[in-house]
Structure 1
Amino acid sequence: METNLFIQLGILIFSLGIFYALQTLPKKAFSKLRSKARPGAQAHHHFIKGAQFLSKARSARAKPAAVSLAKFAVDEADKALALEPRDPAAYILKAMAQTVMGHRAAALKSLDAALSPPAAKMLSDRDKGDALLKRAELQVGLNRRRRIDSAVEDLAESVRLSPDNSKAFLLLGQCYEMKGCTDDAKWAFERALEIEPTLKEAHAGLGRLFA
C-alpha cells in the first residue's frame, strides 16, 4: 500500500512539474502547443529548452546572436524528434526557429511534416489552425503567384478551425485580393475587422478594393 502511495505521489509531482514548465514557456505561441499525444519526459525537456532558445533568439537585437540562438533551438527540436518522430509541436518549434534563421524553405518543410496526417491528428484545432496560418505566410512569402492557391486552401481551413483568428482572415483577404476575387476579399477583410476592429491592414485592404 505504501509503495503504491509513493508511486502515485511521484506521478503527481512529475505532472505538476510538467504543468509548471508549460505555464512558464517564454512565448505565448509555445504555451499553446499542447498535443493530444504524451511525449516522453526527455523529448519534452528538449522541446522546452528549444522554446527557451527561440524566445531568446526573437529578443536578440543582433542578427548573428539571433541566428545562433535559433540554431540551438533547431538542435533541441531535432533531439525531441529523434525521441518522438511524430510530435507536431517539435516540428512547429523547428519551423519557427528556421524562420528566424531566414531558412524559409526549410521551415515550410518542417510545417509540412507537422501538418502531415499522422502528426496533425495530435494537434488541437487551434494549434492546427495556427500552423496552417504560418505555412500560408511562408507560401506567400516564398512565391506569391505560384503558391497562392495552396495558401488559400490552408487559410480557409485555418479560419474554419480558428474562427476568431483575425490574422488568418487578414491574410486570406490579401490572398483573395491577389487572385482578383473582390467579393471574397471583402468578406475576409470584414471578418478580420469584426474580430479586431483596429486592424489597420484590414482597413487598408478594404480601402484598396474600393479605391
Structure 2
Amino acid sequence: MGTDAMLQLTMLLLTLALFFGMLNFPKKALTKLRSRGRTTALSNRHFVQGAQLLARARSARNRTTSINLAKDAVFEADKALSLDPKDAASLILKALALDLMGHKSSALRSLDAALSPPAVKSLSEREKGDALFKRAELHVAVNKRRRLDSAVEDLVAAVRLSSDNAKAYCLLGQCYEMKGMSDEARKAFDQALRVDPGSPAARQGLDRLAHPPSG
C-alpha cells in the first residue's frame, strides 16, 4: 500500500481517538455545575447533546443520516459557544463534526480557536495533546505538502503532552517520511511500537523505510 493510501487509512482510524477521549469532557463539565452559573450549565447541556449526536453520526451506516446528525452536532456546539465562547470542548466538538461532514478547513479553524488563548487554558495536558494530534491530521488532509511543517510541530508537542499516543507517533513518522527524514521517521515508528507493539501502521512504516522503492 502506498504512503498516501496508508496515511488516509491511518487518519480515518485516528480520528476516532480524539472523539473517544473527548467523551470525558461532559463528565468533567457536569461535576462543576453546582459552582458555576446557569449560562454555563446550559452551554454544557448543549455540548452533551452535541457529543451524543456526533456519536450517532459516527456509527450511522447511511452517509446522509451521518451528515445530518453531524450538522445537528454543529448546531448544538454553536449553541454552546453562543453561551460560552471560550469553551475549548465545544470548539473541539464542532471541529470533529465539521470534519465528519468533509469541511476540513472549517474544522481546522475551529481547532485553531480551541488551541488559542484563552480557550486552551480549559484543556488538560492530555486533552491539549489530543487536540494537537487532531489538528495535525487536518493540516495533512487539507494540504499535506504545504502544511507538513505545521503538522510536525503539532505532533512533536502532542507526543510530549501524551507520550502514550501511538497513533500520534505513527502520523509523526509518516510526516517525517514524506519530508525525506528517514532517521527521524524510524525513531517515531519505533516509539509507536514501544507504546503499541501491535501497531500495523508502525510496522508497515518501518518496512517501507527498510525496503524503499527502487528507481
Taking structure 2 as the reference length, the TM-score comes to: 0.83
Residue 100 of structure 1, CA deviation: 1.0
The share of aligned pairs that are identical, in percent, is 57
1:29 maps to 2:21: yes
Distance apart, 1:121 and its partner CA: 1.2
* 1-structure distance, mates of 2:204, 2:117: 37
Residues of 2 paired with 1:209 and 1:137: CA distance?
A: 21
The letter of the residue matching 1:209 is L
Matching of residue 192 in structure 1 with residue 192 in structure 2: yes
- SS of 1:40's equivalent in the other structure is helix
User: Which has the greater radius of gyration?
Assistant: 1
The equivalences for 1:1-211 within 5 A come to 28-33=20-25, 34=28, 40-211=40-211
DSSP-derived class of the 1:157 partner? helix
State how many pairs are aligned: 185
Distance 2:53 2:141 in 1: 25
> Which amino acid in the other structure matches residue 99 of structure 1?
D
Structure 1 unmatched ranges of 5 or more: 1-26
Counterpart CA distance in 2 for 1:132 and 1:208 is 26
Higher relative contact order (CA 8 A, sep 6+): 2
Cα distance in 1 for residues equivalent to 2:102 and 2:77:
17
CA contact (8 A) 1:133 1:158 kept: yes
How far the C-alpha of 1:31 sits from its partner, in A, is 2.2
RMSD: 1.6
How many angstroms apart in 1 are the aligned matches of 2:82 and 2:142?
28
Partner amino acid for 2:179? Answer: K
Runs of 5+ consecutive residues of structure 2 not aligned to the other structure: 1-18
Q: Could you tell me how far apart the structure 2 residues matched to 1:141 and 1:72 are?
A: 24
Q: Distance in 2 between matches of 1:119 and 1:30?
A: 15
Aligned match of 2:10: none
Distance 1:206 1:32 in 2: 34
Shift in Å, 1:108: 0.5
Structure 1 stretches of 4+ with a deviation exceeding 4 A read none
Distance in 2 separating the partners of 1:153 and 1:32: 26
- How far apart in 1 are the matches of 2:169 and 2:61? 31
Task: Quote the offset at 1:195 in angstroms.
Answer: 0.5
CA contact (8 A) 1:49 1:73 kept: yes
| Offset from partner CA, 1:63-94 (integer Å, 9 cap, x none) | 11000000000000000000000000000000
